[in-house]
Chain A
Amino acid sequence: MHFKDRAALEGYIEQLKSRPQPRRVLVCMGTGCLAKGAQKVYQSFVETLQRKGLNVEVDMDTSESSRHFALCSTGCMGICETGPRVRIEPEGIQYLRVSPEDVEEIVEETLEKGNIVYRLVQQETINGETRYWPLVKDDPFYRKQVRVVLRNCGSIDPESIDEYLRNDGYRALAKVVTSMTPDEVIAEVTKSGLRGRGGGGFPTGRKWQFARMVKADLKYVVCNGDEGDPGAFMNRCLMEGDPHAVLEGLAIAGYAIGAREGFIYVRAEYPLAVNRLRKAIESAYQAGLLGENILGSDFSFDIHIKEGAGAFVCGEETALIASIEGKRGMPRPRPPYPAQSGLWGKPTIINNVETLANVPQIILNGAEWFRSFGTPSSPGTKTFALTGKVKNTGLVEVPMGITLRELVFEVGGGIPGNKSFKAVQIGGPSGGCLTEAHLDLPIDYDSLCSAGAIMGSGGLVVLDEDTCIVEVARFFMSFTQSESCGKCVPCREGTKHLLGLLQKIVNGTASMEDLELLEETAQVVKDASLCGLGKTAPNPVLTTLRYFRDEYIDHIVHRICPAHVCQAMKEYRIDPEKCKSCGKCARVCPVKCISGRPRIPYVIDQDRCIKCGSCFEACPFDAITVEWRRKNHE
């Protein structure tokens, strides 16, 4: 179909909605589930249904017969660790860890008889009593979530435009191009209070207003799908799970500022996202929802995909622009801001994937509706990639203002293995650590800022008692150090210096002066760097110093690692009772720090030992023990 005008589109959507929905079997084909073999599960459904003479419609179906099923592959359902996941609608039954061998039973029991296969259901044992959550709506993982952006993710086939349309897809774009002026669109988005989900939290309406006001023959809109933050995959899931929502948001942004061309910049590590976006673009063109005179209006809009090539700094706006132009992705000083002079010198707005995916919902349901979620200064919801030491790792969407405690312990199900909560690292390499003291902090832009952290794009890594804070700070610094583009000295040299200092602390060779130097240098890098990468690179160090200074001091003064992570804080000792003075250990020691004589137990010189463990492996009498250094024996 090719929609000539708004009425044709609305008519088609009504028609799609009025068709009775067959029972639907949704098989998750997100990256997580694919990695766990979802393709085979899907195939097994196809074969089993056919073998049993049940009619399978891979597309949507019009028939009311109870022997009809629609088999549908979706994007990420949110809790990938328990994949491959299968959901059956309309009941909303969800099965976890489904293998091809389970499929026969699901078809016979659930599809044919309407029974639940309990062994494949989410379960939890509390005080010896097992509880089952067969239905999506009862699952504690989903209970506190509000899915605005992710509403289609995991419940529609991302490769079918009909599925998107049936869920009110492109109705916002239709409304905008046929019945609203660009100023009205901007006013609505401004009123909604939507703030950029890419990290900074800049008001989206205001950004659009700037670009709208600039006079120029050409303007561009760019969707930032770079998502270079380690530990973040929200944008990936959105692009894979509901690509049309991103396209629709981008087109509306284009209409609002007066652009006729848009770019989606996706990182090369996301091949599935690129494929699904390409498919979506193609079907949107065929439907007349992209291209010339959309729905008979004066608005024409084209979308191109640009694949990144692996550089974190390319997520930064000015670097991203350079990269789209085919250059090295180096940032440049601002102003001028991209809204004044961006791609090829033309006014350009850059928005995050999630920001754009919010837009159609705001247009359809109104700014007031959007404001009913979240807090007054941070309205709406936020998606998070909940990972690390938490039971339900996955993709979640919660209203802004939810507390960290609710997020980690209710949605996330708490810390596995009876370990205790230590901190969360929020906002990726430019973010910070929050501690137990912050568990009741509402998560919104402003409260996070006041605690020294940032929302970032939504990476949230939970750390338990077995994680060493200093090592985590070192890890982030090694990331930013290697990703620094090298253009400005404070960032290029400063991050290297900071990494060196952190390495020294982890190696147990630092002094208290080094700690002072670390703090000072961090401040300088923060103040003097050119772009956001350098300006925020010291944040993990500064926040951990603020909340976990003791742990730094333990490493430096007492040479102990409380979490038992830093290898240098181990101690190899020879038990004099067990040592037979064979000398094997001394012979393998690469630094020759073990000495002894026949019939006298050997000893290790702790100051020179490099903890390589060769002696431990060489000893035939198990006389060598490994211990973590403790405070009292210093």
Chain B
Amino acid sequence: MENNTGATTLERSFEKVNEILKKHGYQPSNLIAILQEIQAEYRYLPEEILTYVATALGVSPAYVYGVATFYAQFSLTPKGKHIIRVCDGTACHVKGSSQVLKVIRETLGLEEGKDTTDDLLFTVETVACVGACALAPVITIDDQVYGLLDEKKVREIIEAILEQEGGK
């Protein structure tokens, strides 16, 4: 079963990955942009694709892996469909971002140590400032910014998405 899905992902990946690699002229200097586009496509960076990219660019897999693990944006494990980023920048921190994070995790039923829900609907992460500090505390969901939050507002926002997803 696992092997099966693995194989189909792989096949599917190579096509897309080839396109992306080609667009960037197989340039190692474009590695970050290449990985960004691959991640946009698959929501994470599957290991076999990293190896493939390394070969295609003529660099070592360790090099690609090194870059993929260095930057906060990249994930080597599958991420949820909706990415919730809780800002924990200075302004948000002094205005109560920890409480916001707590409420989100509670609402989604995320246990400690887990950032992605089992149904792969949500991933929750903290980021250092999304640059909308005047609206602190701030979260983003799939790049949409929500500001001036309190417990009640956060809960409503998350529940609205949950409802939408459930209703489909």
A323 to B90, CA, bound (A): 25
Q: Is the CB of B135 within 8 A of A475?
A: no
Chain B window 55-96, contacts with chain A (Cβ cutoff 8 Å), 1 for yes, 0 for no: 000000000001100111110000000000000111111110
Also in contact, A227 and B134, with CB within 8 A (given A31-B145, A311-B70): no
Name the one of B73, B131, B132, B146 contacting A310, with C-beta atoms under 8 angstroms.
Answer: B73
Chain A window 67-84, contacts with chain B (Cβ cutoff 8 Å), 1 for yes, 0 for no: 000000000000111000
Residues of chain B within 8 A (CB-CB) of A81 are: 134-135, 148
A88 to B152, CA, bound (A): 35
Q: Is the CB of B88 within 8 A of A230?
A: yes
Q: Is the CB of B74 within 8 A of A269?
A: no
Q: Does B13 touch A at the CB level, under 8 Å?
A: no
Nearest-Cβ distance from residue A387 to partner chain B, whole angstroms: 4
Residues of chain B within 8 A (CB-CB) of A31 are: 131-132, 145
Chain A window 229-254, contacts with chain B (Cβ cutoff 8 Å), 1 for yes, 0 for no: 11111001000000000000000000
Q: Is the CB of A425 within 8 A of B134?
A: no
Chain A window 379-390, contacts with chain B (Cβ cutoff 8 Å), 1 for yes, 0 for no: 000000111110
- Pick from A104-112, A459-467, A551-559 the stretch touching chain B: A459-467
Q: Is the CB of A32 within 8 A of B134?
A: yes
Name the one of B67, B94, B131, B135 contacting A327, with C-beta atoms under 8 angstroms.
Answer: B67
Also in contact, A80 and B89, with CB within 8 A (given A323-B32, A326-B28, A329-B70): no
Residues of chain A within 8 A (CB-CB) of B110 are: none
Q: Does A609 touch B at the CB level, under 8 Å?
A: no
Q: Is the CB of A311 within 8 A of B91?
A: no
Q: Is the CB of B127 within 8 A of A385?
A: no
Tell me the nearest residue of chain B to A232, going by C-beta: B129
Also in contact, A326 and B30, with CB within 8 A (given A307-B36, A309-B72): yes
Also in contact, A35 and B32, with CB within 8 A (given A230-B89, A328-B66): no
The A-contacting residues of B in range 116-154, CB under 8 angstroms, are 127-136, 138, 143-148
Residues of chain B within 8 A (CB-CB) of A231 are: 89-91, 129, 133
Residues of chain A within 8 A (CB-CB) of B145 are: 31-32, 34-35
Q: Is the CB of B70 within 8 A of A328?
A: yes
A309 to B36, CA, bound (A): 8
Nearest-Cβ distance from residue B130 to partner chain A, whole angstroms: 5
Also in contact, A388 and B90, with CB within 8 A (given A80-B134, A309-B71): yes
Chain A window 437-462, contacts with chain B (Cβ cutoff 8 Å), 1 for yes, 0 for no: 00000000000000000000001010
A386 to B136, CA, bound (A): 12
Q: Which of A35, A306, A463 has the most CB of B within 10 A?
A: A35
Q: Is the CB of A387 within 8 A of B127?
A: no
Nearest-Cβ distance from residue B156 to partner chain A, whole angstroms: 15
Nearest-Cβ distance from residue A490 to partner chain B, whole angstroms: 20
A425 to B89, CA, bound (A): 13
Chain A window 311-334, contacts with chain B (Cβ cutoff 8 Å), 1 for yes, 0 for no: 110000000000111111110000
Q: Does B31 touch A at the CB level, under 8 Å?
A: yes
A232 to B130, CA, bound (A): 9
Q: Does A268 touch B at the CB level, under 8 Å?
A: yes
Nearest-Cβ distance from residue B78 to partner chain A, whole angstroms: 18
A309 to B132, CA, bound (A): 18
Also in contact, A463 and B73, with CB within 8 A (given A230-B128, A325-B29): no
Q: Does B33 touch A at the CB level, under 8 Å?
A: yes
Q: Does A393 touch B at the CB level, under 8 Å?
A: yes
Q: Does A479 touch B at the CB level, under 8 Å?
A: yes
A479 to B92, CA, bound (A): 13
Tell me the nearest residue of chain B to A468, going by C-beta: B94
Q: Is the CB of A393 within 8 A of B71?
A: no
Q: Is the CB of B131 within 8 A of A35?
A: no
Nearest-Cβ distance from residue A383 to partner chain B, whole angstroms: 13
Name the one of B66, B127, B134 contacting A393, with C-beta atoms under 8 angstroms.
Answer: B134
Also in contact, A309 and B74, with CB within 8 A (given A389-B94, A479-B128): yes
A459 to B133, CA, bound (A): 10
Q: Is the CB of B29 within 8 A of A324?
A: yes
A-B residue pairs, 8 tightest by C-beta: A230-B89, A310-B72, A231-B90, A309-B71, A233-B131, A35-B145, A387-B91, A326-B31
Known: A80-B134, A461-B90. 12 other contacts (CB 8 A): A35-B147, A79-B134, A227-B131, A230-B88, A231-B90, A231-B129, A268-B73, A311-B72, A387-B133, A425-B90, A461-B94, A472-B94
Q: Can you report 21 residue pairs joining A to B where beta carbons are below 8 Å apart?
A: A31-B132, A32-B145, A32-B147, A35-B138, A80-B134, A230-B93, A231-B91, A231-B129, A232-B131, A307-B36, A309-B32, A309-B71, A311-B71, A312-B128, A326-B31, A329-B71, A388-B95, A425-B90, A459-B90, A467-B94, A479-B128
